[in-house]
């Protein structure tokens, strides 16, 4: 049974993330969507909200499940028995950001990172951009799962 961890902040999960999880499931038997905390980021959604939205987004993907990541990703990967980390790439800028993390995670635990090119039709879809579009009242229904679009609309009407 091959297991991969697909980690991220998922603030919130987008259709780009879901696409990468779907592609990863063509390679691995099980994909754990690891919802992590990056202390350098000011999150729009609380950890439990990010987890719940990720769970609803992957509910129809057999073999995918969501777990919170506490502490080091390298430790989490070892604890879950996963054989790889999976990350999606939209382009060269993503690779630049991911390279050092992949090497650090391998240094810490020996685990390899597998990069998957996402759907080019979703190459512009980033959580940060989606939040900005939503904040200004733009159309996001073709960028994020239905539950995420509703949650962003609720958040933006709260402020």
Q: Any idea which residues carry the catalytic annotation?
A: 17, 41, 90, 127
Per-residue x/- marks for ligand PNS, 120-139, CB under 6 A?
--------------------
How far apart are CB 159 and ligand PNS at their closest, in Å?
A: 23
Closest contact distance (angstroms) between CB of 113 and ligand PNS is: 10
79 SS3 class: helix
For the chain, counts of helices (H) and of strands (E):
6, 5
Q: For ligand PNS, which stretch binds (CB under 6 A), given 54-62, 72-80, 114-122, 137-145?
A: 72-80
Residue 44: asked if its preceding bond is cis (omega within 30°), the reply is no
Cβ 157 to ligand PNS shortest distance, Å: 25
Is 9 a binding residue for ligand PNS by CB under 6 A? The answer is yes
Q: What residues between 101 and 120 interact with ligand PNS by CB under 6 A?
A: 101, 104-105
Give yes or no for a contact between 131 and 35, defined as CB atoms under 8 angstroms apart: no
Q: Rounded to whole angstroms, how far apart are CA atoms 79 and 97?
A: 25
Token digits of residue 133: 């579009």
């Amino acid at each position: 049974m091959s297991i991969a961890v697909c980690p991220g902040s998922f603030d919130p999960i987008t259709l780009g993330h879901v696409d990468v999880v779907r592609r990863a499931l063509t390679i691995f038997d099980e994909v754990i969507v690891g919802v992590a905390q990056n202390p350098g980021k000011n999150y729009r959604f609380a950890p439990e909200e990010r987890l719940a939205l990720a769970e609803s987004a992957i509910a129809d993907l057999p073999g995918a499940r969501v777990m919170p990541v506490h502490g080091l990703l390298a430790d989490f990967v070892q604890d879950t028995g996963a054989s790889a980390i999976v990350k999606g790439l939209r382009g060269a800028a993503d690779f630049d950001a991911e390279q050092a993390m992949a090497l650090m995670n391998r240094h810490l635990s020996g685990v390899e990172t597998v990069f998957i090119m996402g759907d080019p039709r979703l190459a512009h879809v980033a959580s940060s951009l989606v939040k900005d579009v939503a904040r200004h009242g733009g159309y996001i229904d073709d960028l994020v799962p239905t539950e995420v679009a509703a949650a962003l609309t609720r958040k933006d009407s709260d402020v």
